[in-house]
Amino acid sequence: MIDVPTIILTVVVVAIAIFVIVILARSIRIIPQAYSGVVERLGRYHKTLTPGLNVLVPFIDRLRPLVDMREQVVSFPPQPVITEDNLVVSIDTVVYFQVTDARAATYEIANYLGAVEQLTTTTLRNVVGGLNLEEALTSRDNINGQLRIVLDEATGKWGIRVSRVELKAIDPPVSIQDSMEKQMRAERDRRAAILTAEGTKQSAILEAEGLRQAEILRAEGDAKAAVLRAQGEAEAIQTVFRAIHEGDADPKLLAYQYLQTLPQLAQGQANKLWIVPSELTEALKGIGKAFTPGGAPGARTEGQPPQ
């Protein structure tokens, strides 16, 4: 026979076990690192759970979806913005923000991500609307700083801290891009022409300076060579003069040396005029008398009576 009380007892035990398991499952919550959980008790805010093991009151406490406390990076789609000079530019924005208060991010704003996007778009239009295209293209750091200050101040009450705002791209209209490209090309050509002219100028200056230095060095070399040559000739003359005086050379010997030098003087093609000293003439006469038959030593001279 089937033991009814035993079956009922078994069912009751199983039901109690299931109830206990459900109670434990609803009472114990494990919050992972970098997340926070908001607990509501009977519909009202009760506490914020921190990472780790947490215990709740079953059927009374309710855990809201976990809030990511890490810094988040959100890239918003391109937004059309009108500049001060009435040009429509497309701007891509990246916002770095972090939830610092899970309670405020849950109860102070319905969708903080959408609110940050809309606030970024509005602030971007206000900031860029006061700048012309050139200022908008060259003042990214200034725009980023203004956006961050405004967003951080506005999102503080939502429990959100905006750390950085970056403009990924600022795209002007196609016609303006073509004009800017032509202007940049003309500027590059102008700079290239200036650099080429400067290079040619420097090259000419250096070449002229090199030629001048070469001429100076050549002139200095010629001058030094002339000085050394003159000094050598002077020393040679002094040496010859000293040798003549020390050797007590007579006019005949000098005339003989001059006769030996005459062929060397005649070798030059420009030598047309010879200068013969009077002393040389007298010496030559003496040499001639010495080699003539009547001019031997002891010969009779004019006006001397014969012996």
Query: Domains of the chain by range and CATH?
Result: 4-67 (no CATH), 70-177 (3.30.479.30)
Strand ranges (E), the chain: 28-31, 35-41, 44-49, 52-55, 61-63, 67-68, 71-82, 88-99, 160-171
Low-confidence winner among 62-71, 185-194, 219-228, 243-252 (lowest mean pLDDT): 243-252
Q: How many DSSP H helices and E strands does the chain contain?
A: 8, 9
pLDDT at position 283 is: 54
Q: Are 136 and 69 in contact (CB under 8 A)?
A: no
Cα–Cα nearest to 176, from 144, 139, 136, 141? 136
Let me know if 147 is exposed, middle or buried by CB neighbors in 10 A (0-12, 13-18, 19+): buried
Q: What pTM did the predictor assign?
A: 0.54
* pLDDT tens digits, 142-184: 888 888 998 989 899 999 999 999 988 888 877 776 776 777 7
Q: Are 121 and 91 in contact (CB under 8 A)?
A: no
CA distance 79 to 92: 7
Q: Are 36 and 48 in contact (CB under 8 A)?
A: yes
Tell me the average pLDDT across 200-217: 88
More confident residue, 278 or 177: 177
Interacting residues of 137 by C-beta distance below 8 A, sequence separation 6+: 170, 172
pLDDT at position 266 is: 56
Cα–Cα nearest to 174, from 88, 93, 77? 88
Residues of the chain above pLDDT 90, percent: 17
* pLDDT tens digits, 17-30: 888 888 887 888 89
Residue 161 phi/psi, 5-degree rounding, is -115, 120
CB crowding 226-258: b at 16 or more within 10 Å, else e: eeeeeeeeeeeeeeeeeeeeeeeeebeeebeeb
* pLDDT tens digits, 216-239: 988 888 888 888 888 887 777 777
In Å, the largest CA–CA distance within the chain is 206
More confident residue, 62 or 254: 62
Mean pLDDT, the chain, rounded, equals 80
Let me know if 105 is exposed, middle or buried by CB neighbors in 10 A (0-12, 13-18, 19+): buried
pLDDT bin (cut points 50, 70, 90) of residue 96 is very high
